[in-house]
A and B are shown apart, each in its own frame.
Chain A
Amino acid sequence: MLSFMTLVLSCQLAGELVVGAAGLPVPGPVVGMVFLFCYLLIRGDIPGHLDRVTTGLLRSMSLLFVPAGTGVILHFRLLGEALLPLSAALIVSTVATIVVTALMMRWFDKGDADG
């Protein structure tokens, strides 16, 4: 657990530092993900402790969105005023994005499909 947190937080910290120093338009944790991924590629396997705790953390990942989602209480008035354009935009756009991405992937992907 401890070595896992040190490794993951170090990757995140390194990501934040690189993003800050280079002015990259992506968040630090995404760059941190790339760093951890490169570490795994170089290492050639996944350390047991990392495997166990990652599985646990990712399984309850939905929980982590609750605090940000609760921010809805800050915008009740604005959401009420723009309810129609906002809800239509979110629904149409989410459906369209899923359909286009999935169909393009099916169209272009000639790899094995039994995954």
Chain B
Amino acid sequence: MDSLQETWVYLSASPLFHLTLTLAAFQAANWLFEKVGRNPLLNPVLGAVLLVVAVLLVTGTDYGTYFEGAQFVHFLLGPATVALAVPLYRQWHRVRQSAVAITVSLLSGSLTAILTAVAVTWALGGSTEIAASVAPKSVTAPVAMAIAEELGGLPSLTAVLVIVTGILGAMFGPAILNLIGVRDWRARGLAIGTASHGIGTARALQVNETAGAFSGLAMGLNALATALLLPAVWGLLSRLFAL
């Protein structure tokens, strides 16, 4: 029993355990997702996060210890973002044909994301700090966190809101697009990528390569658009509402 205890102490302090936990939780969540015919309600990112959180709470592990192992997975977000150049290159002829439409749609989507998030938060009594944390939630995590910090929000809260937004977009985006009758893969991809960054893009890539490429493009462009637009919009809102 003592040796078991010691082994646990050793393992829980080494990165191996939490790295394996992350992969195993995702594999289990993904297996379930496939098993139920890719029902969006059983989104694998959501399932894996819930599983990992449950294990951390039960074992009394803090997030810092967990992240020492999980950082190796987290690190791959950078290379995966770079790799989005490949589907983009493959779809480049389609992107060029629609350059004007993409620019207009993306800017409209980016502004909609910012304004609705801030307006609803304020309307329902959220503080300015919360509003600043939620404002950049449609953009990929590193950019969103940097923007939130600049506006006086909480970057680590923003990271969570970004992930939840991504999961929401991946879960309900396809159904919403069906409902409004948008079937074109380019429009579907662009909408999912603008609203829900990399998690939406990961989902779009599984469904259709054109949608995946447009989603990846939207994710990159929206990071840029939000980084440039949001500080100005925030300044304007602050002046209007005398915050």
Q: How many residues on B have C-beta within 8 angstroms of the other chain's C-beta atoms? A: 118
Main secondary structure of the interface of A (DSSP, over half): helix
B228 close to chain A: CB less than 8 A: yes
A26 near B224 (CB under 8 angstroms)?
Answer: yes
Q: List, in ascending order, chain B residues with CB within 8 A of A59's CB.
A: 205-206
Q: How many residues on A have C-beta within 8 angstroms of the other chain's C-beta atoms? A: 76
Whether A93 contacts B187 in the complex (CB less than 8 A), given A74-B156, A115-B210, comes out as no
Q: List, in ascending order, chain B residues with CB within 8 A of A93's CB.
A: 112-113, 116-117, 120, 134, 137-138, 165
A8 to B166, CA, bound (A): 24
A39 — nearest CB in chain B belongs to which residue? B85
Chain B positions within 8 Å of A, measured between CB atoms, are: 22-23, 25-26, 30, 44-46, 48-49, 52-53, 56-57, 63, 66-67, 70-71, 73-74, 76-90, 92, 94, 97-98, 100-102, 104-106, 108-109, 112-113, 116-118, 120-127, 130, 134, 137-138, 140-143, 146-147, 154, 156-157, 159-169, 172-173, 176-177, 180, 182, 184-188, 190-192, 194-196, 198-199, 201-203, 205-206, 210, 212, 216, 218, 220, 223-224, 227-228
A41 near B156 (CB under 8 angstroms)?
Answer: no
A100 to B30, CA, bound (A): 30
A67 — nearest CB in chain B belongs to which residue? B70
Q: Which of B86, B87, B98, B123 has the most CB of A within 10 A?
A: B86
B74 near A86 (CB under 8 angstroms)?
Answer: no
A90 to B25, CA, bound (A): 25
Q: List, in ascending order, chain A residues with CB within 8 A of B25's CB.
A: 66
